[in-house]
Amino acid sequence: MPRKPTLPKLRQAAAGCRACDLWERGTQTVFGEGGSRARVMLVGEQPGDREDLEGRPFVGPAGRILDDSLEKAGIDRRAVYVTNVVKHFKWEPRGKRRIHQKPNSVEIGACRPWLDAEIALVKPDVVVCLGATAAQALLGRTFRVSRQRGEFVPSSLAPRVLATVHPSSILRAPDDETRRAETSRFVADLKRVAKALK
Ligand code: URA
């Protein structure tokens, strides 16, 4: 960890991270992205296949849902810092495909100093946990997104902290109608974030 960290210094240090074994499987560290003065920090689980290849968070299919939903909620993606609790893609081969695997608590713990350093530097007004992995890593193992989504919850991470679903859960909706309904709920949660910024 750099002694006087800046985002570029952190990114450079994280590129060589070997704190857990995931560096062996991932193409590269996918560090967070966004301005050092961003008022909102969005925290996902880990980079996916596209993110691993491009080296940037939320640039794949889940990222497209996120971008569209942010726009619908009136939040400029440029005003947002986007990152993940784990910064390497964890996957297993299935035929030619790389299938996402959930990070375990050792991997999440090993990666945590990077996220803590990002939060300490950016000092966002609002932290948004996207999905259960981020919510439980940041708000505790007993946190249930299904029960507490869209609610601001007390936390020392930032003045306001809220959890919602992961945009990839919207991608997995079984039909168009469910997808539309789930997107509206996601946008409604993001609108609460937008309102908190006013
Ligand atoms: N899913 C995540 O949690 N993060 C990404 O960066 C992409 C997909």
132 and 141 Cβ atoms separated by less than 8 Å: no
pLDDT tens per residue across span 155-178: 999 999 999 999 999 999 999 999
Residue at 58: amino acid letter: F
Pocket test for ligand 1, best of 65, 84, 90 (most atoms within 8 A of CB): 84
Task: Determine the distance separating the centroid of ligand 1 and the alpha carbon of 148, expressed in angstroms.
Answer: 21
User: Residue 1: what pLDDT?
Assistant: 85
User: Residue 42: what pLDDT?
Assistant: 98
d(CA 59, CA 186): 18
Task: Determine the distance separating the centroid of ligand 1 and the alpha carbon of 49, expressed in angstroms.
Answer: 9
Task: Determine the distance separating the centroid of ligand 1 and the alpha carbon of 46, expressed in angstroms.
Answer: 5
Distances from the Cα of 196 to the Cα of 23, 135, 151, angstroms:
37, 19, 12
Q: Confirm or reject CATH 3.40.470.10 for domain 18-196, answering yes or no.
A: yes
Task: Determine the distance separating the centroid of ligand 1 and the alpha carbon of 118, expressed in angstroms.
Answer: 16
Residue 25: band (very low, low, confident or very high) from pLDDT cuts 50, 70, 90 = very high
Domain boundaries, the chain: 18-196
Q: What is the pTM of this model?
A: 0.97
Ligand 1 atom with the smallest distance to the CA of 131 is 3
Both structure tokens of 97: 């495909």
Pocket test for ligand 1, best of 129, 136, 166, 172 (most atoms within 8 A of CB): 166
Distances from the Cα of 9 to the Cα of 4, 71, 150, angstroms:
9, 30, 33
Task: Determine the distance separating the centroid of ligand 1 and the alpha carbon of 27, expressed in angstroms.
Answer: 15
d(CA 146, CA 37): 31
Answer whether residue 198 shows pLDDT above 90: no
Contacts 24+ apart (CB under 8 A), 145-149: 149/185, 149/189
d(CA 20, CA 54): 21
pLDDT tens per residue across span 131-150: 999 999 999 999 999 999 99
User: Residue 101: what pLDDT?
Assistant: 96
